[in-house]
Amino acid sequence: MANNSSIKAGEIRPTQILYTYGIGSVVDFPHISALVMGLDDWPNDPKHCQSIQEDRLLQQIRAVFGPQVDKLLTPPVSEKNDFGPDPFGKEEHVGIPAMPFPTWMHCTACNTLAPLSSGQFELKSNPFRPEETHYIHKSCTKGKNPKALPVPFLVCCENGHLDEFPWVEFVHGGPGHEDHTTLQYFDSGVSGEMRDMYVKCMDCGASRPLSMAFGNENRNRMPMCTGRRPHLHDYDNAEPCQKHARAIQVGSSNLWFPQIFSVISIPESTSDLANLVTKHWDDLQTVTNAVIIGYLRGMGKISDMGAFTDDEIMAEINRRKNPPSDADSNSSHEDNPLIAEWHAFKKPCLKTQTEDFRLSPEPVPAHFSKQIEQVILVERMREVRALTGFSRIYAPGEEIDAVETGETAKIVPITQGTPTWFPAVEVHGEGLFIQFREDAVDAWCNKAEVKDLDAVFYSAYIDLRRKQGAINPTSGYPGIRYVLLHSFSHALMRRLAMECGYSQTSIRERIYYNKPGTNEEPMAGVLIYTAAPGSEGTLGGLIEMGKTTNMERHILNALDDCRLCASDPTCSENLPSYGVNTIHGAACHSCLFAPETSCERGNRFLDRSVLVQTLGQNNRNFFDED
């Protein structure tokens, strides 16, 4: 990561660009804080950013952002040479652009509080140790060039705006003291609590503790939000922001939530040649004649296509560039990217297996033959994830729901103009796909007790959406079918994490279901998987757990864990309508909740009483109690 002065400030992993330190987030390095800038500042040259080919993901993104989006690119990475990194070379300045933010600094010796624009601070960098990059207070009266640290407070709002903390206005209790700029920042205690931190004006003696800036009761005393979008170098001029600025700490988990679009790569054809052309489309899409194919062979870029002649490859390229007029006849389900994956997992075809997609059916555990249709071991899989925006304070809805409801107003764009590309990463891994019997799921959904629970979940969903200011609070409800599949997924993930060799944070879920009122083919399945950057991906731990004898044991243990929770009877008596941001029944951190990286719904729509009998509930369980 490089800052706006072309000084390397530190390093982060590619996947962190999507989930932790993406555009608009604040990266808290040891001595400075940096804001990741928007795509307008990013380098996107082929030398440093590789193109990722995934047509289904592009189609999904175009449905929201327009047809002009034509590519997905990896974050910029500097080229490596045979002699090791050169801290003074041009390649060391290639990276993700960032700028110091917040820019208000405080001296660790004299407690002076001032912005970088005051000229009191100077940046010191170490090309060999970028993590030691820091600012010094060159005009300090109590020490010789002591370190200056960013004050870890900002202001933001639910509309995604972000700005500096209004220090001068805050310490004086309002505007009108703009000329009083000699401030000091103190931490009078060792507890680290807000009541021990205060700011003082040395011009007039006014002082206030930071605790007066935090909490709902104090928010109305804060100034109105400025509408600033520092990652885009501008202000949101669509309309004045009607929110009061909200004080927030730099390290708060709700300062930045990514909007991620992702798909599992599915082979498009049973033809080996067609799949290879898709794999190498980055190099082949500009080919106009067979001579260029021979040139690419000589460069070693298509070495795995040796079984095919140049003319055969050229013919396939032309077919891909000029598809038949009825090529879109099977694209009726593109609004839901899960459907193509559902069909690929439901009916594994050996002819479509590739090095990035390999399935192996496994016999269903006899104990669960009434509920489970089939178990598929996903021995190899590739997932592509793209960052398209972010939100603050509240996490955005799932990407499919955002498409259906159109409620993307609070999603902050990551580029000033119309986007033509988005940053993306590809990960490889393994997983387990479990398909439930449709007759069993349908019969369970039609039970009177289950319908009653569905009505309670629906009511809680509408109530939450109204509190969040949703345009159409009744749309997007996933239904009780989703609650069943989601609860089963969490229960099984927790149990698998104990033996599969992967931490619970590295295991993810993907739920295949139908929303109420849809006329599509019914879906009822769960994909539990783990994936990591790099071509090798993961090491087979989940696959081993998916073998018939192991799977039966894990499901039995998972269901047994759900019968009694350490928080019972409180947990078992919980209703979906309880709490401001709660849409779950009998579920908590002791029984069903999963890490944020694992759950696709933020631990909502969970209830272990739909799986097994719990304290007080013994009439809506899906699995038998024998």
Q: How far apart are CA 167 and CA 200, in angstroms?
A: 10
433, 603 Cβ separation under 8 angstroms: no
Say whether the peptide bond before residue 569 is cis (omega within 30 degrees of 0).
Answer: yes
- Residue 92: the pLDDT is 64
| Tokens, residue 555 | 């499901």
Using the structure block, give the residue that is written with the tokens 């999507």: 18
- Residue 192: the pLDDT is 64
Closest CA to 450 of 488, 486, 484: 484
- Residue 88: the pLDDT is 59
Long-range contacts of 236-240 (CB under 8 A, 24+ apart): 236/159, 236/161
Closest CA to 448 of 194, 193, 579, 619: 619
- Residue 226: the pLDDT is 92
Q: How far apart are CA 311 and CA 289, in angstroms?
A: 9
Q: How far apart are CA 507 and CA 431, in angstroms?
A: 9
| Tokens, residue 579 | 């709490």
Tell me the three-class secondary structure of 155-193, residue by residue: EECCCCCEEECCHHHHHCCCCCCCCCCCEEEEECCCCCC
| pLDDT tens per residue, range 557-609 | 999 999 999 999 999 988 887 655 678 999 999 999 998 889 988 899 999 99
- Place 89 in a pLDDT band, splitting at 50, 70 and 90: low
Q: How far apart are CA 542 and CA 456, in angstroms?
A: 35
Q: How far apart are CA 14 and CA 198, in angstroms?
A: 38
pLDDT at 409 over 50: no
- Residue 279: the pLDDT is 72
- Residue 3: the pLDDT is 47
| pLDDT tens per residue, range 294-328 | 888 888 788 888 888 888 888 888 877 776 544 44
- Residue 331: the pLDDT is 44
| pLDDT tens per residue, range 374-383 | 999 999 999 9
- Place 191 in a pLDDT band, splitting at 50, 70 and 90: low
| Tokens, residue 375 | 């178990």
Using the structure block, give the residue that is written with the tokens 């998916």: 546
Q: Determine which of 215-229, 397-411, 458-472, 594-608 has the lowest per-residue pLDDT on average.
A: 397-411
- Residue 589: the pLDDT is 93
- Place 434 in a pLDDT band, splitting at 50, 70 and 90: very high
- Residue 354: the pLDDT is 79
Paired with 423 in beta bridges are 73
| pLDDT tens per residue, range 25-72 | 999 888 889 999 999 999 888 777 888 888 889 989 998 999 999 899
pTM given for the model: 0.82
3-class secondary-structure state, position 96: coil
Which helix (H) or strand (E) is 373 found in, with range? strand 372-391
Q: How far apart are CA 599 and CA 510, in angstroms?
A: 9
Structure-derived torsion over alpha carbons of residues 22, 25, 29, 33, reported in degrees to the nearest 10: 140
322-350 mean pLDDT: 67
Paired with 529 in beta bridges are 431, 508
| pLDDT tens per residue, range 516-542 | 777 788 999 999 999 877 555 566 788
Q: How far apart are CA 63 and CA 46, in angstroms?
A: 26
Average pLDDT, the chain: 84
| pLDDT tens per residue, range 149-165 | 999 899 999 889 999 99
Q: Considering Cα of 614, then 619, then 625, then 626, what sign does the dihedral take?
A: positive
Amino acid at 575: L
- Place 404 in a pLDDT band, splitting at 50, 70 and 90: very low
- Residue 85: the pLDDT is 59
Closest CA to 40 of 262, 233, 313, 252: 233
pLDDT at 8 over 60: yes
| pLDDT tens per residue, range 230-254 | 999 999 876 788 889 999 999 888 8
Say whether the peptide bond before residue 576 is cis (omega within 30 degrees of 0).
Answer: no
Helix/strand number for the chain, H first, E second: 15, 25
pLDDT at 399 over 50: no
